[in-house]
Amino acid sequence: MPNTPHTPHITRRELLRSAVLIPAAGALAACATPAQAPATSAPAAAATSAANPFGVAADKPLEIWIFDGGFGQAYAKDIHQPLFATKYPKAQIKHNATKEITKVLQPRFAGGNPPDVIDNSGANFMDFGALAQDGQLQDLTPLLDAPTWDDPAMKVRDSIDPAVIEIGTYDGKFSVLGYVNYIYGIWYSKKAFDENGWAAPKTWDEFTALCETIKKSGKMAPFTYAGKFPQYLYEALLTMAAKIGGNEVLVNIDNLEDGAWTTEAMKESATRWAEVGAKYLMQGTAGLDHVQTQTAQNKYEVAMLPSGSWLENEQKDTTPADFAYQMFVVPDVTSSDKMPYGTLHTQPGENFIVPSKGANPQGGMEYLRAMLSKKAAGDFSELVRTVTVVKGAGEGRELSSGVKSASDAVAAAGANTVYFRWERWYAQLKDEAIAATGQLMSGGLTPDKYLERIQKKADELKNDSAIKKYKR
Amino acid sequence: MLRRRLFITSFLAAPVTLYLIYVIAPYVQAFYISMTDWRGVSAAPRFIGLENFQRLFSDGIFWKAVSHNALLLVLLPLITIVLSLFFAFLLNVGGKGVSGVRGSKFYRVVFFFPQVLAVAVVAVLFQQVFRPDDSGMLNGPLMALGLPSVGFLSDPSVAFWSVLGVMVWQAVGFYVVLFSAGLASIPGDMFEAAQIDGAGRFSLFFRITLPLLWDTVQVAWVYLGILALDVFAIVWVMTDQHGGPDFSTTVMAAEIYRNAFQYFRFGYASALGVIMFFFTIGFAILALRLSRRERIEY
């Protein structure tokens, strides 16, 4: 269950914890008050060299916090840290893991003693905008320009997916390292499709015809999504809008341009999905979460659902052995779609940061450099069945059916990939879009009203001087 | 005299100090933070005066939350008190003579049971009860009968009432016990005398039970009112999107949490907290004023 900010998989236990930890509202803010910034003693940096590009002090301890979600924490302890230790055996590594990044680490930022490396993921990740706005993020540009861990002739910059750099850049500084490549699509069981003679649709007409066939067959419901978390659906909706109207649809939305949500492409896409909501959803979809709907799919109660490439790993305990996950990309909608068939949404996730005010930011960057080595990334991929952002790290490794399908889709898409960042920049806009999308799919909002509503929130944010704005 | 004062002061010093540090100081800090644009990570927030409060009053979701709290403030005490009075009456004097209905001891335990469960447990439990597919305790039978499933938590026009229902379910048991205790202190001969005079159950309840229990009812009303104002966990844990769907169940405390820990707007969240502080104080003062009334001695 990789908790990307995009898909807040919230386990029952996490919820319980958050409920139990908040006894009194009044004391809430007070328990995390700003402290006086301690006088920061400039860390005595060792000399830099090709082998030690950041000047890491060999015996300086390194404190690491891992988000303990669907990927667990074993990868950090068993893969990344031993690798780091081969080079710095004297540096003591303090490994920590939590499901609640914010609760544990927010007070430490406010107190001026953050740790050195953080996997800032999960449902309760720390807001990147707030951290960037306050200068808490180490500029990782030196990391990009450093030689890779394996090959002194190659720069880290050239060894990773360029989208990582684009997406991890705040205010012109590369400060967030997405480690895993999430690939989004609509997922189905190859077995179920083969047995029933169904084929993955390439156009919207084929898609609705397939939904109709499945519905009539009575064998299972055609479509579902994580109804409690409608962001799973707006992901497909936005990708489709970008396909219809071109990438600038998403760029304008990210940049809070006037009327960015209410464009024709968005209307077309919202209308199509509202039709799915009205006709083809599995009963009760609106009240089910991601695991419940995914489990329904594993039980062959529903044919298709939108999700990301973490799905297979997340469901590994409930999926029948011969289920054979596959994904297809958002279908062609009109004959004049601006982006070709194959266009898909892929975006780096599982975000690592190095706090600028930590005790050992050099060590932190070096740790990230170790993580980005081919060996570390390849071992990671194999352990948690997923694709990292390190180019070629999956080569020669055995891929499972779903991961292979997703990787193939990326290869087929070539340069036709899209992404969006507004939901990470503006958490309030995200919540509004989530609420409104749920309403769109259950018929509570017409496509027009749906887009107007989100547009209104976007305008509100645009005019709110307390919220920092970002551009891409 | 001086010695006595010293004696009292020495005993009070420790608790008062603790109270100042752990209760008053955080409140004062919250007041200060509410006037900054603090985002939770900086060591030096910027002072912005009352801007947060201005923003708050034009925030639609804030008003939604307030209206939900207000609705709870009226309905939760009303429904809970009516139900628990009714049950307490049945359990204590509803049977033949001055005694409870048959099996009243058993019912008493059953009623109290929800009170024993932690709020978070109740919330998770009811998530399952309200499940929209055929595994739901309520929707399962409905769907077996061929009826459409009800979105108890997923339909914005129903979700709030589901939350209210769960809160009542959890609260009733405690007040049944409270009212039973109140009833037990009313001399039994009053009921007997009334019965001899020909009073039915109806007049027993309205002429004797209710007036003599009035003090207890007022206490219950104040408690339930405060419960309605600071409800948080049940909404946060049980409802979709923490106060959803579509903000249809959100309450002030949930908005404080959301703004602080999801939007990282600690200043704004503190402003919400300050508003809530005044709501609660206001309610408490009002409740104490209204409950000033002559006691009936018996």
Tell me the percentage of chain A whose pLDDT exceeds 70: 90
Q: Nearest Cα to A45, choosing from A34, A54, A33?
A: A54
Reported as a single tens digit per residue, the pLDDT across B73-102 is 999 999 999 999 999 988 887 766 667 777
Alpha-carbon span A203 to A240, nearest angstrom: 11
The predicted structure's pLDDT at residue A314: 83
Q: Does A425 touch chain B (CB under 8 A)?
A: no
Neighbours of B272 (CB within 10 A): 30
In chain B, the residue whose alpha carbon lies closest to the alpha carbon of A450 is B246
In order, the DSSP letters of B51-102 are HHHHHHHT-HHHHHHHHHHHHHHHHHHHHHHHHHHHHHHHHHHSSSSSSPPT
CA B274 – CA B161 distance, rounded (Å) = 27
Q: Pick from A22, A3, A20: which is nearest to B269 by CA?
A: A22
User: What Å distances lie between residue B113 and B116, B118, B172, CA to CA?
Assistant: 5, 11, 10
- Higher-confidence residue: A340 or B219? A340
Residues paired with residue A94 on neighbouring β-strands, in sequence order:
A63
Helix (H, G, I), strand (E, B) or coil at A390: strand
Q: Hey, what are A69's tokens? A: 């979600």
Residue A183 main-chain phi, psi, to 5 deg:
-120, 125
Residue B206 CB-density burial (10 A; 0-12 exposed, 13-18 middle, 19+ buried): exposed
What are the Cα distances from residue B127, in Å, to A196, A214, B120, B132?
Answer: 35, 30, 11, 9
Residue type, B69: N
CA distance to partner chain B, nearest, from residue A85 (Å):
31
- Chain B contact present for A23, CB below 8 A: no
Q: Scan residues 288-327 of A and list those with Cβ closer than 8 Å to B.
A: 288, 292, 296
User: Which chain A residues have a beta carbon less than 8 Å from that of B118?
Assistant: 20
Residue B204's contacts (CB-CB under 8 Å, 6 or more residues apart) are: B93, B191, B194, B195
Considering only the beta carbons, identify the residue of B51, B230, B247 that sits closest to A25: B230
pLDDT band at A23 (very low <50, low <70, confident <90, very high): very low
- Supply the pLDDT for residue B284: 84
Residue pLDDT, tens place only, A356-376: 999 999 999 999 999 999 999
**Of the candidates A105, A466, A32, A426, the residue with the CA atom closest to the CA atom of residue B36:** A466
* 8 Å CB contact of B124 and A16: yes
| C-alpha pair distances (Å), A193 with each of A88, A199, A217 | 52, 6, 13
Q: Which of A11, A20, A33, A100 to mutate to test the interface with B (most CBs of B within 10 A)?
A: A33
Residue B203 burial by Cβ neighbours in a 10 Å radius (0-12, 13-18, 19+): middle
Q: What is the pLDDT of residue B250?
A: 96
pLDDT tens digits in sequence order for chain B, 298 residues long: 778 888 888 888 989 999 999 999 998 999 999 999 888 888 788 899 899 999 899 889 999 999 999 999 999 999 999 999 999 988 887 766 667 777 788 888 888 888 889 999 999 999 999 998 888 899 989 988 988 888 999 999 999 999 999 999 999 999 999 998 888 888 888 888 888 888 888 888 888 888 888 889 988 998 999 999 989 999 999 999 999 899 999 999 999 999 998 888 999 999 999 999 999 889 988 887 877 665 555 5
Q: Is A305 helix (H, G, I), strand (E, B) or coil?
A: strand
End-to-end alpha carbon distance in chain B: 38
Does residue A86 carry a pLDDT above 90? yes
Which ipTM was obtained for this model? 0.84
Per-residue pLDDT tens digits for A299-313? 999 999 999 988 888
The C-alpha of A442 sits at a distance from chain B's nearest C-alpha, in angstroms, of: 9
* Token output for A411: 């290869």
Amino acid identity for residue B109 in this structure: V
CA A88 to chain centre: 31
Give me the residue label for tokens 């925030």: B59
> Can you give the pLDDT at residue A227?
92
Which residues does residue A346 pair with via DSSP β-bridges, in sequence order? A183
The answer to whether the CB atoms of B55 and A112 lie below 8 A apart is no
Cβ atoms within 10 Å, residue A154:
12
Q: Return the sign of the alpha-carbon dihedral for residues B137, B138, B142, B143.
A: negative
User: In b/e form, how buried is each residue of B101-118, taking b as 16+ CB within 10 angstroms?
Assistant: eeebeebbeebeebeeee
Q: What is the per-residue pLDDT for B134?
A: 81
User: Which of B261, B274, B276 would you mutate first to test chain A, the one with the most A CBs within 10 A?
Assistant: B261
User: Which of A12, A136, A283 lies at the smallest CB-CB distance from B149?
Assistant: A283
Report CB contact under 8 Å: B155, A286: yes
State chain A's mean pLDDT as an integer: 88
Chain B residues whose beta carbon lies within 8 Å of the beta carbon of residue A285: 132
pLDDT-derived band at A65 (thresholds 50, 70, 90) equals very high
- Spatial contact of A25 and B261, defined as CB atoms under 8 Å apart: no
Query: What DSSP string runs through A127-168?
Result: PHHHHHHTT-BPP-HHHHHSBPSS-TTSBHHHHB-HHHHHHT
β-pair partners for B289: none
B148-158 residue pLDDT tens? 888 999 999 99
pLDDT at residue A292, as a whole number: 92
d(C-alpha A268, C-alpha A272), whole Å: 6
User: CA–CA separation, A147 vs A130, rounded Å?
Assistant: 31
A173-215 residue pLDDT tens: 999 999 999 999 999 999 999 999 999 999 999 999 999 999 9
